[in-house]
Amino acid sequence: MNNLSLQEKQAARLIQRDIPLVSKPFADIADACGLSALQVITVLQRFSEKGIMRKFGAILRHQKAGYRKNAMVMWFVPPDTIESAGRLIASLSYISHCYERKPAFQNKYNLFTMLHAQDDDISPLINTMSQLINSSDFLILESLQEYKKTSPEYF
């Protein structure tokens, strides 16, 4: 990190915050850093290549987007089918997270999925998932309250 220029550190600091929904989102960041938008993008690509930045993504404020119900659904899937099951479930529009859990929760539930629904009744969605991956062994943890979401800042 000590090898980063002042401009790179400033870009890293600013990219951790919310990015405006505008046609040229990196222009303001570039202006604040004394770089061009293309230079900011190049810096971010270099961060990614060097492993300094692990990911770049959006955080959906699901309740503001109209999603009223959220649930973590944990599945038991045989280990030899977990990758294909994960790919199937991850392709569903109402799933934001899908990952293998090692070690498995309660030594059993090894596939975790985060479901978001606009309707309070999530059972049809779960039934679809169950049929899709041929598993009826699951646990549901429903979100009762959303707390403030913040991301860590490193600079």
In Å, what is the CA distance from 40 to each residue of 2, 17, 106, 149?
18, 15, 45, 26
pLDDT digits (tens, 9 = 90+) for 3-59: 888 888 999 888 888 887 888 889 989 998 999 999 999 999 999 998 888 888 777
In Å, what is the CA distance from 57 to each residue of 7, 15, 60, 88, 143?
22, 11, 10, 22, 22
Q: Give the CATH number of domain 6-50.
A: 1.10.10
Every domain of the chain with CATH number 3.30.70.920 lies at 69-142
pLDDT digits (tens, 9 = 90+) for 105-141: 999 999 999 999 999 899 999 999 999 999 999 999 9
To the nearest 10 degrees (0 to 180), the angle between helices 6-15 and 37-50 is: 90
Residues 6+ apart with CB under 8 A from 1: 52
Mean of all residue pLDDT scores within the chain: 89
CATH classification for the domain delimited by 69-142, as one of 3.90.550.10, 3.40.50.740, 3.40.50.300, 3.30.70.920: 3.30.70.920
- Residue-wise burial string across 55-71, b where 16 or more C-beta atoms lie within 10 A, e elsewhere: eeeeeeebeeeebebbb
pLDDT digits (tens, 9 = 90+) for 86-114: 999 999 999 989 999 999 999 999 999 99
Residues 6+ apart with CB under 8 A from 151: 16, 59
Every domain of the chain with CATH number 1.10.10 lies at 6-50
